[in-house]
Structure 1
Amino acid sequence: MDNKMRCVLAILLAMTCISVNGEDPYLFHEWNVTYGTLSPLGVPQKVILINNQFPGPRINGTSNNNVHVNVFNHLDEPLLFTWNGIQQRKNSWQEGTLGTNCPIPPGKNYTYRFQVKDQIGSYYYYPTTGLLRAAGGYGPLTVVSRALIPVPFDKPEDDYTVLVGDWYTKSHTELRSMLDTGRGLGRPQGLVINGKSGKGDGKDEPMYTLTPGKTYRFRFCNVGMKDSINVRFQGHTMRLVEIEGSHVVQNVYDSLDIHLGQCLSVLVTADKEPKDYFIVASTRFTKEPHTATATIRYANSKSPASPQLPKAPEGWEWSLNQFRSFRWNLTNSAARPNPQGSYHYGKINISRTIKLVTSAGKVDGKLRYAINGISHVDPPTPIRLAQHYGVSDKVFKYDLIKDDYKPTGEDGQDKITLEPSVINGTWKSFVEFVIENPGKSVQSFHMSGYAFFAVSIEPGRWSPEKRKNYNLLDAVSRNTIQVYPNSFAVIMTALDNAGLWNIRVNSMEKHYLGQQFYLSVHAATVSLQDEYNMPDNNLLCGIVKDLPKPTPFRA
């Protein structure tokens, strides 16, 4: 290479560095998604692996990082991933649900591109097509604060992820067949922690090693399919520091309930006798609870963990009181979840109240779940694509879910209708969602694209008079909310994130059988300041499969 060529390359390299340094950093991941045989509960079965790992690899970023994940689908069925809790500001194109995206066909690949904008916290990802979630394919996604942003606790010695969830020993295809033929799934067969069941006999290899006197961060997520879970440390307390992207008032707990889809962080100090101890997880609100353990070992451990496990609390009233103890840390200066500018949410006038009532029933002899009498079905053409190509009227109807729902069937029961379900949201309105659960089991709901304020959970039915009981000062800003039996929950949020967003129950069975809908929020004028263009690599399917891609909007 001559000197002239070296000079040219040096100039190009310098220009590249300047360009890169002008943007937030990029993180690149390449995933090969395959099947493998593992025994999470001691029974060999087909499990989804990502780069030969179960759970999948951790995506570990910093606030405002740009994340690119190139997914190669080596399965025998279509595949999508969703990034549970990542708000995808202005970018529902990357949401990874069947209402927003065409699935990746077998043998093909697709690159997700999103930014973890103004976020910190503990999240996870999982597959959304079919019942692939029942075969695994999930993994942790964490976002830490930038170096100059103070965090309200000292840096821990290490940062560990604990993915806890219930597990079925039937294959995902068997489970899907059960639902498709009108049956329910029944009870899971056990619990797994990071894909392992743990025997609790003192012979398991340690999952985590602790240095005496040091403090560690444990990020828990309930990645299960049916059950709420209680977690606790044998002989140790937990200092709660973060819930789904919000730093919270640091109360100390002996145990914590984590409902489906929820994540939280605790600090644990290794200040006990140097030996082995168990992390204990058990299902809640079930007649015969399942329990799993993971071993933590002090570096100079002298003896195995005691077989005497700490007990879980009883009753959902205890769980409700724990929810009421969670408070947002208003003095912390770290990245705050959106909606931006609504920290004083209690002083914002409510633009609209949408009451959501869950129900179950049979349609043509098959089990279905519904919200306000509508059981969602995914059309062959994703709803967001139908909107973008101007063919919405051929794919779905808006507002089949009514704001103030009353049962329409005989004897006051719900009449269930199967349709794609989309609510039209008004840009930058401040909305109150009331979720009523008349059923006998705890439910958990997730809202994609947003962090909302979880202002109330109470027994009974909601009425406007209940607003006097709301926490309008320091409710935690988060993305999931549980609703106890014969109770209601209330969340508030500003609809300032343009796009199409999925609101879903976190129960795999109920979600698959229709207990979800989409919230469509679009700015009054088309602008890249409010919503990104459709990606140039976007997959097409359904009635728009062979249509040319529209000309991108230019600022």
Structure 2
Amino acid sequence: MDARTFGFFTLLLITLANAEDPYHFFEWKVTYGTMSPLGIPQQVILINGKFPGPVINCTSNNNIVVNVFNNLDEPFLLTWNGVQQRKNSWVDGTPGTMCPIQPGKNFTYKFQVKDQIGSYYYFPTTALHKAAGGMGMIQIHSRPLIPVPFDNPAEEFAVLVGDWFNKGHKSMKNILDSGKSIGQPDGLHINGKSAQVGAKAEPSWTFEAGKTYRFRICNVGMRTSVNFRFQGHDLKLVELEGSHVMQNEYLSMDLHVGQCMSVLVTADQPPKDYYLVVSSRFTKQPHTIVATIRYKGSNSPASPELPPPPPGNTAGIAWSLNQFRSYRWNLTASAARPNPQGSYHYGKINITRTIKLVNSRNYIDGKLRFALNSVSHLDPKTPLKLSEYFGVADKEFKYNLIADEPPPDVEKNIKIAPNVINATYRNFVEIIFENHEKTIQTYHLDGYSFFAVAVEPGKWSPDKRKNYNLEDALSRHNVAVFPGCWAAVMLTLDNAGMWSLRSEMWERFYLGQQLYVSVLSPERSLRDEYSLPDTTQLCGIVASMPKPKGYV
């Protein structure tokens, strides 16, 4: 090999060694539009003229760049539900971390889907925009060299389901601001549509006999758990919130607010039309809608006889709880691992802190509020993360208004204030969610996956740890807590930043059932957390302040 050739190959190797992971670029225009999810025209939020919005289809470790133009008449933010934003809470898209995009302005989100695979979604966190749309699916695939524990499906389908209100998002916000509840939803939707049995409708998906299809399904609703099932077809659960699972077959699945999962469905029935059926769970007024699956070349309508839903009320809670217990992490599957320190051996790590959170509701000055450990969160004018970074946090909020143990009567003496707890970087913590109310709760933590090790009836106490699954609990970002039950999750706080821990029931979130976890690296190093991006929008008391020197 001559010197010129040697030099070329050396330069090539250096280039490859320093190459970044691939980039995906998106330009989104956020606008109002008119749609009729339940048959009644109303204002919805569209992204590039669509609801649901564009699918982000990417691969583990890819870089995502989304330039969002806000053409609404209100400030707007998007969050990336379940995408961990490693070292980068600056673009988490919650009011505690970012200034909202003002009307007529744009902002470019840049983040990496680091060490993740699975099904997630994005949605707006400002005002009651979530009630109007502005959401879409995020599909993160395994890298080509990493085997997936099932054969490649013939096709993948993104399915967003949830409850829907006909009141309109601005009316709903006014209702909550006036101190009242938004009440029960008016119905359900599947990808922004609501069809009943027997109604004429174009098929949503097409099957070819003998082939297997992957449905990625997320509950993007405001408050309602749902059950989904396929007429005439079994389903096989293969992934839940970023974890490959032991592949059990089910007749139907409960999907709680904020949760996502992937199921495989094989076209093994006589060619005709079939329904995907979605029903509400644990609601006073039941709702059931359908979407049509058509076998290629068929013109036979779907049968009007639907597969029955699971039981309701108390028996239904037990049924759903048992389904949760059937989920097991597939530890032999090769995949990106979001919790490298805790993977496989999380049950052997010593717990350094236990935080017990109890939800409650009450009326303060005649207005409805929700709380965690008797503090109802209120966003200050300056995002919490910015106040902390600029060194003016003491002017905007106080840390640790809540203790790690709730007060004896959490419904009394509720305080309305920013709710921020300090956490120690790299500590292994246990969080207990205890639900004394008569409604199901779901909780989500940005920036992390946690191990959902138990959900049990009654009240939690340390001796309940003997019931934990310390072997193969799923690594996930969302957990449901049934009425009169508790849930335990465990995680390593290895992602520095300011992270939203919140109720996924959006009325509760808006009225205070949330908090932020501040995880600061003592070294303030770029190894642990990125510096404030140059493009960051500033507002509140830091709007005119010079930016501090970044991490080194």
TM range, smaller chain: over 0.9
Asked if structure 1 preserves the Cα contact closer than 8 Å seen for 2:337 and 2:343, the reply is no
Moved more, 399-408 or 124-133: 399-408
One-letter code of the match for 2:68?
Answer: V
**Alignment-derived partner of residue 7 in structure 1:** none
Number of corresponding residues: 538
Answer yes or no: is the 8 Å Cα contact 1:372–1:407 preserved in 2.
no
Q: CA RMSD in A?
A: 1.4
Q: 2:481 aligns with which of 480, 483, 487?
A: 483
1:538 matched to 2:536? The reply is yes
Structure 2 residue runs of 5 or longer lacking an equivalent are: 1-7
Q: 1:88 aligns with which of 79, 85, 89?
A: 85
SS at match of 2:173: helix
Residue aligned with 1:468, SS: helix
Cα 1:339–1:355 change in 2 (3 A) is farther
SS in 2 for 1:330: coil
Give the alignment of 1:131-530 within 5 angstroms.
Answer: 131-314=128-311, 315-408=316-409, 413-530=411-528
Supply the distance in 1 between the matched residues of 2:381 and 2:227 (Cα, whole angstroms). 39
**C-alpha contact 1:167 1:224 (8 A) present in aligned 2:** yes
More displaced 10-residue stretch of structure 1: 26-35 or 342-351: 342-351
CA contact (8 A) 1:454 1:476 kept: yes
1:551 is displaced (CA, Å) by 2.4
Structure 2 letter corresponding to 1:133: K
Per the normalisation by structure 1, the TM-score is 0.95
Q: Residues of 2 paired with 1:301 and 1:346: CA distance?
A: 52
Q: CA deviation at 1:21?
A: 7.4
Separation in structure 1 between the aligned mates of residue 96 and residue 16 of structure 2, nearest angstrom: 35
Q: What's the secondary structure of 1:511's corresponding residue?
A: helix
Contact 2:342–2:491 (CA under 8 A) maintained in structure 1: no
In 1, the alpha carbon distance for the partners of 2:437 and 2:419 equals: 21
108 and 403 in structure 1: CA distance in 2 versus 1, 3 angstrom threshold: same
Structure 2 residue 118 is matched with structure 1 residue 117:
no
> Displacement, 1:288?
2.2
Query: Are residues 431 and 307 of structure 1, via their aligned partners in 2, closer, same or farther at CA, if it must alter by over 3 Å?
Result: same
Q: Counterpart in 1 of 2:28?
A: 31
CA-to-partner distance for each residue in 1:219-272, whole Å, 9 max, x for gaps? 010000010000000000000000000000000000000000000000000000
1:200, distance to aligned residue in structure 2 (A) = 2.1
Q: Distance in 2 between matches of 1:455 and 1:488?
A: 11
How far apart in 1 are the matches of 2:218 and 2:409? 38
How much has 1:338 moved relative to structure 2? Answer: 2.1
Q: Classify 1:282/1:104 alpha carbon distance in 2 versus 1 (closer, same or farther; 3 Å).
A: same
Deviation at 1:202, TM superposition (A): 4.9
- 2:204 and 2:345 mapped to 1: Cα distance? 42
Is contact 1:54-1:137 (8 Å) kept? yes
CA contact (8 A) 1:202 1:307 kept: no
Using the alignment, how far apart are the partners of 2:331 and 2:523 within structure 1? 34
AA of the residue aligned to 1:356: L
SS at match of 2:236: strand
- Aligned mates of 2:207, 2:199 — CA distance in 1: 17
CA distance in 2, matches of 1:341, 1:289: 41
The residue type paired with residue 366 of structure 1 is K
- Percent sequence identity is 61
Q: Equivalents in 1 of 2:494, 2:344: separation in Å? A: 14
Q: Distance in 2 between matches of 1:107 and 1:462?
A: 49
Extract unaligned runs of 5+ from structure 1. 1-10
Alpha carbons of 1:192 and 1:328: their partners in 2 closer, same or farther (altered >3 Å)? Answer: same
Residue 108 (structure 2) pairs with residue 107 (structure 1): no
Paired position in structure 2 for 1:129: 126
Contact 1:275 1:303 in 2 (8 A): yes
Task: Report the 3-state secondary structure (helix = DSSP H, G, I; strand = E; otherwise coil) of the residue aligned with 1:278.
Answer: strand
Matched, 1:547 2:545: yes
Aligned match of 1:46: 43
**Aligned partners of 2:497, 2:472: CA distance in 1, in Å?**
28
Shift in alpha-carbon separation, 1:468–1:20, aligned structure 2, 3 A: closer
Q: Residues 339, 353 of structure 1: CA spacing in aligned structure 2 closer, same or farther, 3 A cutoff? A: farther
Match of 1:174, SS state, is helix
Q: Sort the Cα spacing of 1:286 and 1:522 in 2 relative to 1 into closer, same or farther, 3 A.
A: same
Q: Which residue pairs with 1:4 in the alignment? A: none
